[in-house]
Chain A
């Protein structure tokens, strides 16, 4: 457990340190400290994963050594260890990009990204509903601050994000208060066997679900996401789309698969799954029509979250452990692919001096590496084999295709795939239009482009470790 705690504490410590040192450190050194601490945190997360794999079951820690029920409990399951590892990896990849690309980044980014890392780690480890609320607040505040990093033009989306995020937190908090009033417990594992399908529980779960869906931009509560993610600096967009929206999703999963009584979970399951299916198509269509590159990528997040929501809904409806694997594979594959997509989009935007998708004509010739990253990451979003996206989609589709009565759901997934293919190929087709090239304004930044490609290569590499990932998620799921 200490490794997991280290993985959580190191980014927080280095964030505080960077804030304390302020301008006494040069920007390069600031970035170096942040990246180094992320690397150490990554190693610690790896050891935590080994620890939980060796134990074969999830580890629980009563903070402060107080008895269960009084203390806040932390839980290190193989899922939370995997998510710790994933968070550190994403921060490392994006940190490297932010530190080494030519444009550089606002110095405040580093402290904030350390704080974001720590908040997410605290979220994955928490097994207490009120503690989860505080981690949600931390996550929301850092995310808003990071959107505001890009200056005046981002203030309006950041303010909207802040207000919606606070409203969503209040919804969640009201639900927690109702559950606490009803059962007198806040601990997830103590609450789980005690919940009943009565009015208070229903109301509480409904409120919390609304709040969490708003926070993780699940359809139909997604409208704040595209402006906020598109106006943030490139590295921040990648972090927000790849990681931040997954935090509330994790709480939603905890809430429905553990806290809620199974009868209620089976009722809500189809609703969530249908919302996910609509998200897939609606988000994809918006991405297809969006005029600017970053908005396209942001809408694709809305669409891709539809897969996760659908997997969650079907998990609740059928109580199939396979859906659990599909859900988290989607989260990881999408995170990596989306990081690459945003970084590539940002790089192409600055090299070609345009925000419009139409400006990407001939990009295969002018910015080949970044365009390759975009296409490769897009391939994973579509689910082309053998990418991580394919792995997740295969696990999701298998139970859907085996039973004829489930075919409508499979049809939804296929439709979603078609739409994702449409918006990715729209960009790829334009980039091959070498007849009317949009010349780059500046020489492409080689380092930045290759760093944008790195997460995309990793998501394709996920297929190599697919067996291991599936066993890990299946083994000590909860």
Chain B
């Protein structure tokens, strides 16, 4: 038994406890706090698994922005709903977990294919062929960090579609604020007056977040970081400023806002179409310009991700419709 097992087991156990607490805490506010803690633990686990890119994204989006979103949603609930449903029984969930793990274990004992595949054998090499291929081709990709190479070159099509996922989610959210409904329908959800200390703190923190976001974006081509992480940090800055009332409403009617929302996907798609028409094929970057193309795609994507995420978290009628 190695010394590393102890922190690993602790993290795993902590994860399960947080998950249980987030689902079954009697008070909603406790459940939300535990959910945010759950996100932090997941981020730690990703870091422990040598996936710092994922850890950064999880910490920023899973723990940070989702937490704000939950708190914001909770404000709209009437008081009696802040207590979660007392009749919800967790015995069912517990029984399900036990039965499922027993079934899985029984399967494992009767069929040794998992062992044969080397999934449970830590000594054997389970590096998937994709990873080997990716490592071998990083030199030709225009960036030196393999994760960025996968995201923006080898599997750039996935990333392009992911940008569209964010955009479509925002288009869906806009449908919840129909044009006809007057803004005073949503008067209850206006932001409360914030404490002086909070806005002072936000003034200090926001520039730091912007600098860190820019740094992550810049670093993305050679080390963990990149558009999604940088975008979510910038979004966090925007959300914080908006919550403390330092930032005016981001108005959808402004063409600049709409442009920055679609810029990432539009630029990426244009690159894809241009390479298909004038180049060697859909998303096949010309070798000389691939580094430059990747960085410019990342810059536009960061902008779009930042604005879209902040709209998704704090978007109100006046942000999305006016």
Contact = CB atoms under 8 A, between A and B. Distances in A.
A72 interface: yes
A61 to B, nearest CB: 7
B162 A70 contact: no
Interface string A123-160: 00000001100110110011011001101100100000
A66 interface: yes
A61 B281 contact: yes
B269 A9 contact: yes
Contact of A141 (B128, B172, B259): B172
B168 A138 contact: yes
Nearest to B287: A65
B155 interface: yes
B101 interface: no
Interface in B45-60: none
Interface in B85-115: 107-108, 111, 113-114
A144 B172 contact: yes
Given A22-B258, A138-B164, A148 B176 contact: yes
Given A2-B276, A16-B265, A184-B128, A115 B162 contact: no
Q: Which A-B residue pairs are the 8 nearest by beta carbons?
A: A184-B128, A198-B113, A145-B172, A148-B175, A65-B284, A70-B133, A141-B168, A134-B161
Nearest to A137: B165
A20 B282 contact: no
B129 interface: yes
A414 interface: no
Nearest to A130: B158
B178 A151 contact: yes
A64 B153 contact: yes
A115 B266 contact: no
Contacts of A9: 269, 272-273, 276
Interface of A: 2, 5, 9, 12-13, 16, 19-20, 22-24, 61, 63-67, 69-72, 74, 108, 111-112, 115, 118-119, 122, 130-131, 134-135, 137-138, 141-142, 144-145, 148-149, 151-152, 155, 162, 180-182, 184-186, 196, 198-200, 203
Contact of A12 (B128, B131, B155, B164): B164
A106 to B, nearest CB: 8
Contact of A184 (B129, B137, B252): B129
A20 B167 CA distance: 12
A23 B285 CA distance: 35
Interface in B275-296: 276-277, 280-285
Contacts of B119: 181-182, 200
B117 interface: yes
Tell me which of A20, A66, A138, A185 has the highest count of chain B C-beta atoms within 10 A of its own C-beta.
A66
Contact of B129 (A23, A71, A138, A185): A185
Interface in B121-167: 126-131, 133-134, 137, 153-158, 161-162, 164-165, 167
Nearest to B254: A22
Contacts of A162: 172
Given A24-B255, A115-B164, A148-B175, A200 B117 contact: yes
A180 B130 CA distance: 10
Given A13-B269, A71-B154, A63 B162 contact: no
Contacts of A184: 127-131
A145 B165 CA distance: 12
A240 B281 CA distance: 32
Contact of A145 (B113, B171, B178): B171
A135 B161 contact: yes
30 contacts: A5-B276, A9-B272, A12-B164, A13-B269, A16-B262, A16-B269, A19-B258, A20-B258, A22-B252, A61-B282, A64-B283, A67-B133, A69-B130, A70-B154, A71-B155, A111-B171, A115-B164, A130-B155, A131-B155, A131-B157, A134-B161, A138-B161, A138-B165, A141-B172, A142-B172, A145-B168, A148-B172, A182-B117, A184-B130, A199-B111
B161 A122 contact: yes
Nearest to B257: A22
Contacts of A180: 128
Contacts of B205: none
B158 A131 contact: yes
A213 to B, nearest CB: 19
A395 B161 CA distance: 37
B28 interface: no
B12 interface: no
A141 B161 CA distance: 12
A66 B154 contact: yes
Given A131-B158, A181-B119, A108 B259 contact: no
Contacts of B167: 16, 19
Contacts of A198: 111, 113-114, 117
Interface string B215-252: 00000000000000000000000000000000000001
A237 B134 CA distance: 43
Contacts of B127: 184
B165 A134 contact: yes
Tell me which of B114, B172, B176 has the highest count of chain A C-beta atoms within 10 A of its own C-beta.
B172
A65 B155 contact: no
B253 interface: yes
A198 B137 CA distance: 32
B261 interface: yes
B113 A196 contact: yes
A70 B134 CA distance: 7
A148 B170 CA distance: 13
Tell me which of A72, A135, A155 has the highest count of chain B C-beta atoms within 10 A of its own C-beta.
A72
B169 interface: yes
Tell me which of B153, B167, B175 has the highest count of chain A C-beta atoms within 10 A of its own C-beta.
B175
A12 B269 contact: yes
